Structure 1
Amino acid sequence: MPEFLVPPIQSHSERLARIRARLADPGYNNPVMDTGDHVLNPGLGPYAKWKGAPKDAAVLIGIVNRETDQRVVLTERTRHLSSHAGQVAFPGGKIDAEDTGPEAAALREAEEEIGLPPSQVSVLGRLAPYLTGSGYKVVPVVGLINAEAVLTPNPEEVEKVFEVPLDFLLDPSNHTKSSREWKGHQRFFYEMPYEGHYIWGVTAGIIRSFYETVDR
């Protein structure tokens, strides 16, 4: 085959197979290992604002196969919310008592926030829990979204739904370490702006964890 005909990147199916394998391999993805805000801020401890047990939560890292690339679904939260208003986030939220686990919670929240039926998602696996400075233990659930699925943001929670190329998010050159002063200390975090969307904080930290699990 002439060199110019060789695909420059893995096919969609090859990449998804690699992701699924890495998520299932404890050598790459230790399910009992914690990642989180404290990794870049060891002096602050895993929970910056809360004491006691964290609250369990889950988010969906939803991947869509498009014609030319693979994309990840993200949301921009509405600006009237009491917390994290206007920020970029994965669909997700607290794990309720009736949820059977993180996967069920992530899929339920995705349906509530962006109208994504659980039947349109094929779960590939989960990442190690991510501990947030606000006192949550977030389990990122990775899933393949049917490209034909129609996503409709719930205006009570989501301002807009948008997609970012998976290649962009998994490129470490796009993972910038930044800091802000918080309670008299410099607090460090990742940021990865994309086409006017400011991806940072917990969302960027989870993306970094995803990269370190499946592509590093």
Structure 2
Amino acid sequence: MTVSLMNDTFAGPDWARQLQRRLADAGRRQGGRETGDHTLNPELGPYARWNGPPRDAAVLIGIVQRDGGPNLILTQRTGHLTSHAGQVALPGGKIDPTDSGPAEAALREAEEEIGLARERVELLGNLPTYLTGSGYRVVPIVGAVREATPYRPNPDEVEAVFEVPLDFLMNPANHQKLSREWQGHRRYFYAMPFGERYIWGVTAGIIRSFYETVIR
């Protein structure tokens, strides 16, 4: 079923329209439902490490059609950052007061982090808001990347930019459910190792949300 839906969604020249329809249909069914780290850890609550209100953020789920099929754009963060150093991440960050909303924030951050010009991204919709254990309310914005040029990673934030085939990421057999001990609790999370890249935590959780929203 997963392979069939994957082929139905991303096959042919009109794949962006098909994905846009799936996102719209899912949005109507879900009715504003939120997801997040707490779905695997209900006893920890949605903001396991934050006592105040959540901070708003947005990330870009940028999909590029290659000869071998659709790929997802991901980044490897630099090792000197104060948070999530060295981790795999989707392009994105906090929503600034000057941003008109999550979509503009995701496009701005992608341009700043990896040199992806916003005019090359066709916005298709968004996934349910994702609540993180570190106190962020993240809106994943889905976009089709047209005529992708070589990426230009910002060395202050991004060590590398790479792509992963959606065939791999949308296969639930590659969605590992792991756990670690955290403040006396067993905390669960998704991981999707891909070659030398270790995709886990919030990034893997958002990819899992994409799978549950569009494919499953």
Superposition TM-score, scaled by structure 1 size: 0.92
- Indicate the structure (1 or 2) with the bigger Cα radius of gyration: 1
Q: Secondary structure at the match of 2:167?
A: helix
Go from structure 1 to structure 2 and tell me whether the alpha carbon gap of 1:180 and 1:52 turns closer, same or farther (over 3 Å shift): same
Alignment partner, residue 119 of structure 2: 119
- CA displacement at 1:28 relative to structure 2: 6.3
Q: Which amino acid aligns with 1:35?
A: T
Percent identity, aligned pairs only, is: 61
Q: How does 1:1-216 map to 2 (within 5 A)?
A: 9-10=7-8, 11-26=11-26, 30=30, 32-216=32-216
Q: CA RMSD in A?
A: 1.5
Which consecutive unaligned segments of at least 5 residues does structure 2 have? 1-5
- CA displacement at 1:27 relative to structure 2: 6.0
Q: Secondary structure at the match of 2:186?
A: strand
Deviations 1:163-201 (A, max 9, x none): 000111111111110001111111000000001100000
- CA displacement at 1:29 relative to structure 2: 5.6
Q: Secondary structure at the match of 1:119?
A: helix
Go from structure 1 to structure 2 and tell me whether the alpha carbon gap of 1:69 and 1:77 turns closer, same or farther (over 3 Å shift): same
**Separation in structure 2 between the aligned mates of residue 184 and residue 85 of structure 1, nearest angstrom:** 24
Go from structure 1 to structure 2 and tell me whether the alpha carbon gap of 1:176 and 1:15 turns closer, same or farther (over 3 Å shift): farther
Go from structure 1 to structure 2 and tell me whether the alpha carbon gap of 1:33 and 1:193 turns closer, same or farther (over 3 Å shift): same
**Separation in structure 1 between the aligned mates of residue 29 and residue 105 of structure 2, nearest angstrom:** 21
Deviations 1:134-163 (A, max 9, x none): 000000000011233221100000000000
Which consecutive unaligned segments of at least 5 residues does structure 1 have? 1-7
Deviations 1:2-26 (A, max 9, x none): xxxxxx9442435433321121114
**Contact map agreement 1:46 1:132 (CA 8 A) in 2:** yes
Q: Which amino acid aligns with 1:55?
A: R
Q: Which amino acid aligns with 2:25?
A: D
Superposition TM-score, scaled by structure 2 size: 0.92
Point out the structure with the larger helix share. 2
Count residues with an aligned counterpart. Answer: 209
**Contact map agreement 1:24 1:125 (CA 8 A) in 2:** yes
Q: Secondary structure at the match of 2:168?
A: helix
Q: Secondary structure at the match of 1:207?
A: helix
Q: Secondary structure at the match of 1:13?
A: coil
